[in-house]
Amino acid sequence: MMQGISGNWEEQKIELKKRFALLTDNDLLFADDRKAEMWIKLETKLGKSKEELQKIMSAL
């Protein structure tokens, strides 16, 4: 579940790309029916747990 995603996703994407330069627009494609796929992709690419990513995203 993507609990960390709220508010303006476009602004959050910009902030994530600033913090993690290796992220691409393709990594951050967000669709309601594909949240889990994006979450797993971010966990794998950044080497972070779901809990760590939720904290990062909720702090944006």
pLDDT in tens, 22-55: 999 888 887 778 888 888 999 999 999 989 998 9
pLDDT in tens, 20-30: 999 998 888 87
Write down the pLDDT at residue 17.
93
| Alpha-helix runs per DSSP H in 1-60 | 9-19, 35-46, 50-58
Instruction: Give residue 37's Cα distance to chain centre.
Output: 11
Asked if residue 48 lies in contact with residue 56, where contact means CB atoms within 8 angstroms, the answer is yes
Token pair for 48: 């972070």
Spans of all domains in the chain: 9-58
Write down the pLDDT at residue 10.
85
Q: What is the DSSP letter of 39?
A: H
Whether the model pTM is above 0.75: no
What band does 4 get if pLDDT is binned at 50, 70 and 90? low
C-alpha torsion 27→33→39→41, nearest 10 = -40
